[in-house]
Amino acid sequence: MKKRADVFAWVEKAEQDFEGAVFLAGKRGKSVPDLVCFHSQQATEKYLKACLTLHRLPFPKTHDLVKLKNLLSGKVPEIELIADLLLFLNEFSVQYRYPGEKSSTAYAKRALKAIKEVRKFFALHLPGIPGTR
């Protein structure tokens, strides 16, 4: 796969969110499940936007993973294999970012497992995702 700067920029940001989620999930002391969930969603969003960019598909400013998946499904029909993970992670873009609701350690563990699967999927479709092949 040829590396393109525009695609790589999205992948690089996605990898930072992925690493952030992994780091925060392993943090000793006070747990931060809201942040693990948020960064898992953010990494997923950026992998999707990287793939859309790779295929030169325009996308709106949105955090909606399902909407982004639907835009991509014509070029990458196998995206449906991770549709349930995208639906699960979709709620974490805003829901736990503000006062009112809190995530749980169990949700954070599920979110981390989900982003690891999403990352494996995108490693097959995007350049620049290290250590997944």
Of 40, 43, 44, 52, residue with least CA distance to 4: 52
Report domain extents, the chain: 5-123
Mean predicted confidence (pLDDT) in 49-71 = 97
Fold assignment, 5-123: Four Helix Bundle (Hemerythrin (Met), subunit A) (1.20.120)
Taking residue 131's Cβ as centre, other Cβ atoms within 10 Å add up to 6
pTM: 0.93
Quote the CA–CA distance of 33 and 66 in Å, as a whole number: 22
% pLDDT > 90, the chain? 78
77-94 pLDDT, tens per residue?
999 999 999 999 999 988
Q: How far is CA 28 from the centre of its chain?
A: 24
